[in-house]
Amino acid sequence: MTSAGKLIQCCGHGLLASAAVYLQNQDLEACTLKMGDSFVACHRRDNDFWLVFNRLTARECEVPAWVSLFFKHPPQRAALAGDESAYLVLEWPNGYPLETLSTPNIDLQDFTGRALIVTARHSEAQIGFRYFAPQYGVSEDVATGSAMRVLADYWFQRCGYQQLRARQYSSEGGLLLSRLRGGQVEVGGSVEMMNGSESNNLAPSKTAYEHE
């Protein structure tokens, strides 16, 4: 549940951390986790842990006019993924400093029920992103695996990338990986264990990952 009492549809961060704990404690290479009505396959490869999702297609659209109310510098492209309560992807020019974008407030709910995934390309197959969902009690999520699931398809369509390395420019930061496998996408990263339990960091350096 979110702080606003909303049921999380796909908590990639929680699933990845749970997979890491379970696989390591049980000394397994793969397992399947259940979240709500969904079953998610998980596995580890070297020092990284991976979740396997069905691919979620991003559909290019016009940049909504209301976006300028929340961001001083407008994005150059936009795309939709999922239904009206899912995601809106907003892309800024290459190398744009996403950390300088202001965080949208609750007024966002007057214009859309979609969470915002803002992104920009940094170099070949390397991107940055942030995730905002104030409508669901999440001003900004510090680590967002489900957003990476969407970005894997989005950047494949934009640049043909089969694999991605992404930095999340939240307060704590994050480093995530994705790989396309036909109709599926793998989302992964490393998980740092603290005091016998999972931490919020999904990457080796303090840099990490859910549609709320």
**Domain locations along the chain:** 12-198
Tell me the CATH number for domain 12-198: 3.10.310.10
Of 52-61, 70-79, 169-178, minimum mean pLDDT range: 169-178
Tell me the CB-side half-sphere exposure of residue 141, using CA atoms within 13 A.
Answer: 31
DSSP 133: B
Please give the share of the chain, as a percent, with pLDDT higher than 90: 56
What average pLDDT score do residues 107-122 get?
97
Q: How far apart are CA 145 and CA 15, in angstroms?
A: 9
At 25, the pLDDT band (50, 70, 90 cuts) reads confident
Q: How far apart are CA 99 and CA 183, in angstroms?
A: 32
pLDDT digits 0-9 by tens, 29-69: 888 887 767 788 888 887 888 889 999 999 999 999 999 99
In contact, 62 and 80? CB cutoff 8 Å = no
pLDDT digits 0-9 by tens, 115-145: 999 999 999 999 999 999 999 999 998 878 8
Q: How far apart are CA 141 and CA 143, in angstroms?
A: 6
